[in-house]
């Protein structure tokens, strides 16, 4: 029997469209915006019962016990960030792509791994 713990969960994956272009144009400004937008996402994720699992570069992975709540969060995120983007010049707007997948994952500590995560990220 395997010692790996598994569970069924809803994976929420987000990354920035055109992140390399934004960083090339203004590293410090892009990082400041990314932090602001991630804080907003984390707040919205937690408000709907999810948790941020990990972040890296321009990416974020969260998990939810409910598919419906993850989709509602994605809508909330897109709406709130659209408001932030509305006051920014078009070339500095930061748009997130969000993928959601219900899948079986491996659990190690607070991290989740496996094809279920990969599918959401794609």
DSSP 18: T
Per-residue pLDDT tens listing for the chain (122 residues): 567 899 999 999 999 999 999 999 999 999 999 999 999 999 999 999 999 999 999 999 999 999 999 999 999 999 999 999 999 999 999 999 999 999 999 999 999 999 999 999 88
Hey, what CATH class is 5-121 in?
alpha beta
DSSP secondary structure of 57-117: TTEEEEEES-HHHHHHHHHHHHHHHHHHHHTS-GGG--EEEEEEEEEEEEEETTEEESHHH
Other CB atoms closer than 10 Å to residue 70's CB: what's the count?
25
**The two structure tokens encoding residue 62:** 């969260």
C-alpha pair distances (Å), 93 with each of 31, 59, 121? 12, 16, 21
CB 76, CB 98: distance < 8 Å: no
């Amino acid at each position: 029997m395997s010692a790996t713990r598994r569970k069924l969960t809803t994976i929420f994956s987000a990354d920035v469209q055109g992140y390399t272009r934004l960083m090339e144009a203004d590293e410090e400004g892009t990082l400041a915006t990314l932090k602001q937008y991630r804080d907003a996402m984390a707040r919205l994720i937690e408000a709907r019962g999810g948790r941020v699992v990990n972040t890296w570069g321009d990416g974020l992975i969260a998990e939810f016990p409910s598919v419906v709540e993850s989709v509602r969060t994605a809508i909330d995120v897109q709406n709130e960030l659209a408001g932030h983007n509305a006051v920014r010049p078009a070339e500095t707007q930061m748009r997130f792509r969000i993928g959601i997948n219900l899948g079986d994952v491996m659990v190690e500590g607070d991290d989740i791994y496996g094809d279920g995560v990969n599918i959401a990220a794609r």
